[in-house]
Amino acid sequence: MTHPIFARWPAQHPNRLQLFSAPTPNGVKVGIMLEETGLAYEPHRIDIMANESQDPAFLTLNPNGKIPAIYDPDGPNGTPLALFESGAILIYLADKTGQFLSADPNARYETIQWLMWQMGGVGPMFGQLGFFNKFAGKDYEDKRPRDRYAAESARLLGVLDARLAERTWVMGDDYSIADISLLGWVRNLIGFYEAREIVGFDRFVHVQRWLDRGLARPGVQRGLEVTAG
């Protein structure tokens, strides 16, 4: 492999898809997807606390300096593909494997709609709430920022709860990349971010059932651990 990323993180199995990630809500999306699809891959843990995502070699793969990113030696038309942004990667892997994204155009775009909802709403809002509820922001005397993100996170959970009221998964009977994109974020919100009480999570009974169902999947359990060690 000639991509500069491999000077810093060598591939032991260069014929496999290469994953560069960390056990964050965005990072675990791709680990889950890879485990669910059964694609052969090689994981590389990027230590974001050590600022490895700003390493010059990593920036050749993702100039935005964020995980996750992938390098597929067997990309479209048999040519290598480097790709970043977790949502884009989920769509790519779904198309590559023919799994977790309907081929029916209407269902496909509706699924992507919910993926974009997670990317544009749930991720940023839950992440900000985590900062103001658990990390450095919790020491701010002014609680208005925390309360703002708590209220918006609760609103988004209400949207998801209504969606799941009569559905097993976001898209109905079919588990999809919409679910994969959301599971890590909802799990982190009430776990790692310790925000269950502040968003009143226990009232969102359909979300809780969906989360329990998702976390019980073996592929999800494996995917959550891909870069955890």
| Structural domains of the chain, ranges and CATH numbers in brackets | 5-100 (3.40.30.10), 105-218 (1.20.1050.10)
Question: Average pLDDT for residues 117-138, to the nearest whole number?
Answer: 95
pLDDT at site 1: 65
In angstroms, the CA 159 to CA 200 distance is 14
The predicted pLDDT at position 225 comes to 96
Q: What is the pLDDT of residue 228?
A: 84
**Could you give phi then psi for residue 192, rounded to 5 degrees?**
-60, -40
pLDDT at 3: 95
Residue 140 above 70 pLDDT?
yes
Asked if residue 50 lies in contact with residue 22, where contact means CB atoms within 8 angstroms, the answer is no
Least confident of 137-146, 173-182, 186-195: 137-146
pTM (2 d.p.): 0.97
The predicted model gives 119-140 an average pLDDT of 95
Are 17 and 40 a contacting pair, CB within 8 Å?
Answer: yes
Residue 134: per-residue pLDDT: 92
Which 8-state DSSP code applies to residue 83?
E
C-alpha 187/C-alpha 116 separation (Å) is 19
Which whole number is the average pLDDT over 64-89? 97
| C-alpha–C-alpha distance, residues 132 and 126, integer Å | 10
Please determine, for residue 20, whether its predicted confidence score (pLDDT) is greater than 80. yes
Identify the pLDDT of residue 21.
Answer: 98
Minimum mean pLDDT range among 53-67, 82-96, 125-139, 202-216: 125-139
Q: What distance in Å separates the CA atoms of residue 171 and residue 190, rounded to the nearest whole number? A: 23
> Which candidate, 184, 192, 193, places its Cα nearest to that of 219?
184
The 8-class DSSP code of residue 163 comes to H
Residue % of the chain over a pLDDT of 90: 97
- Specify the length of the chain in residues: 229
Q: Tell me the pLDDT of the chain averaged across its residues.
A: 97
User: What's the pLDDT at 136?
Assistant: 86
The pLDDT value given to residue 116:
98
In Å, what is the CA distance from 22 to each residue of 72, 110, 118, 198, 228? 18, 28, 19, 27, 7
